[in-house]
Chain A
Amino acid sequence: MKELLILGAGTSGTMMANHLKRELSDDEWNISIVDQEEIHYYQPGFLFLPFDTYKPKHVKKSIDKFIPTGVKLIREKIERIDKENDTVILKNDTKLKYDILIIATGTDIAPQEIEGMLCDNWQKNIFDFYTFDGAKKLRNKLREWEGGKLVVHIAEMPIKCPVAPLEFAFLADSYFLDKKMRDKVEITYVTPMSGAFTKPVATKELSYLLDQKNINIVADFNIERVDSENNKIIDYGGEEVEYDLLVTVPTNMGDEMIERSGFGDELNYVPTNKTTLQTKVKENIFAIGDATNIPASKAGSVAHFESEVLTENILRFIKGEDLKEEFDGHANCFIETGHGKALLIDFNYTQEPVKGTFPFSHIGPLSLLKETHMNHMGKLAFRWVYWNMLIKGRHIPFISNAMSEDGKEIEKK
């Protein structure tokens, strides 16, 4: 028997377990998946938790519920990968030999990377919403907060779901309006990028949103430290932004196991071929989702499209065939803009988000780069799609892993 080992039972790892269980022969392959966690979180839901739109029960289910029968789930912490000996060593010293390894250990927040962030005021007036715990505690804070300076902040790129902090700012505007206290809240969006929008078409089409929602922008802000005594963040250039409530997206980093294994970049992401998803570490090691260093967005939709390409490439690798250089960086994301509306963007490595209809040309029913109620319904419906189709590795009808140009208003060069 041969061994296929998956590290991480989050969105990517679970999808791969489901795909490969269907594709690989039970007589030839054992499939195992390692994860120390008990709970599988619906991470897009963390955006809605602080505003009481989703309840905790909407975003958590047991991990094993989604691991297919016949795939062995090993609940243990991963110590490191010994690539020379094709072995993964677990915390309890168990050694797992593999023929093929898939790294799907994702990314997590690392607030300790920013001086002063993990201080006495962490989760008192400094919060993250990228973890279940952080989002829930922020919800409790918002329920009782009486207003002041709300600063929504990105520490550094890359981060998981790059639009989430902007969505947070939009939803905060909506939330405080509904609570009849918008006049008591000043919302400032602080980003290390050159603006809230960085791509030409999105900048042209969407910049009105910030004025409309009265959100201040501080751009090109690379945080050096948090001064929690004086409630301000300070950047390397000496610029300061004061806050009463800081909602930050701290530095995001890959799993420390990657560092212990002796590979990974300065943020512990795995060097990976951006079209084949084979790592540059060793030919029998593949990587998917947030764990890779590829220049695609760190998002569940990206992982979903990657999983279809990676499944095919693993089958090709087993047969000794050339890998398909097929992954194009396709991402498809809803962006909540508040007041029951949302945008939809569909793009890849080379095509920036543009206007149009999705998934059907001229028909929609979803609209690209335009605020509609239908898009918001799509975002809400996506939770069902996630639990029932996406992580089970089922193909989502009419949406191919390669981005389609149909329905998009692409300017011809």
Chain B
Amino acid sequence: MSELNVELDQEGYLKNLNEWTKDIGETIASQESIEMTDHHWKVVDYLQEQERNEVALSIRKVGKSGVVTIKEFYSLFPKGPLKTSSKIAGIPKPKSCI
């Protein structure tokens, strides 16, 4: 994504959250065919806050955040919501140990 001038990993996730801007989030969202609403941005804010506090994210945690229920999370970011929302929020893809 050279036009945004940020470094991405091979799968399109931002390497450095500090380089994230709302425009970048918007561009990634449109590539994922997601039209961002206030509710989407609230989820993004929550994810970024957790990432800055070094808290590992899970669907359960997002569902209990008070920001969004799991069902809503799926309707906002269909199919793999944590993966897609993480990409838009500029935080790393959820990973296991291998």
Chain A interface residues (CB < 8 Å from chain B): 156-158, 162-163, 192-194, 197-200, 202, 206, 219-220, 222, 224, 236-237, 251, 265-267, 274, 293, 295, 297, 331, 333, 335, 345, 347, 353
Contact = CB atoms under 8 A, between A and B. Distances in A.
A198 B60 contact: no
B58 A157 contact: yes
Given A199-B97, A251-B60, 10 more contacts: A156-B59, A158-B58, A163-B97, A192-B59, A194-B80, A199-B98, A220-B79, A236-B74, A237-B79, A353-B97
B78 A163 contact: no
A398 B55 CA distance: 32
Contacts of A222: 59, 70
A252 B71 CA distance: 21
B10 interface: yes
Q: Binding site of A, secondary structure by majority: helix, strand, loop or mixed?
A: loop
A295 B54 contact: yes
Contacts of B78: 237
A194 B93 contact: yes
B97 A237 contact: no
B98 A206 contact: yes
Contact of A266 (B60, B71, B73): B60
A197 B96 CA distance: 8
B1 interface: no
15 contacts: A156-B60, A157-B94, A157-B96, A162-B98, A163-B98, A193-B94, A199-B96, A220-B79, A266-B60, A267-B60, A274-B54, A295-B54, A331-B97, A333-B97, A347-B97
Contacts of B94: 157, 193-194, 198
Interface string B24-65: 000000000000000000000000000000111011110010
Contacts, number: 72
For B9, B54, B73, B96, the residue with the greatest tally of chain A CB atoms inside 10 Å of its CB is B96
A266 B57 CA distance: 11
Nearest to B95: A198
Contact of A297 (B59, B71, B80, B97): B97
A198 B96 contact: yes
A175 B82 CA distance: 35
B98 A202 contact: yes
| Size range of the chain B interface in the assembly | 20 to 34
Contacts of B83: 194, 220
A191 to B, nearest CB: 8
Q: Please name the 10 residue pairs, one residue from A and one from B, whose CB atoms are nearest each other, closest first.
A: A220-B80, A202-B98, A198-B95, A162-B96, A222-B59, A295-B56, A297-B97, A236-B74, A198-B96, A266-B64
Given A194-B83, A237-B79, A199 B95 contact: yes
B97 A193 contact: no
Nearest to B84: A220
Contacts of A267: 60
A156 B61 CA distance: 11
A293 B56 CA distance: 8
B98 A335 contact: yes
Nearest to A266: B64
Given A236-B70, A237-B74, A198 B98 contact: yes
A297 B95 CA distance: 11
Interface string B82-94: 0100000000011
Contacts of B60: 156, 251, 266-267
A295 B73 CA distance: 23
Given A200-B10, A236-B71, A266-B64, A193 B58 contact: no
A50 B24 CA distance: 49
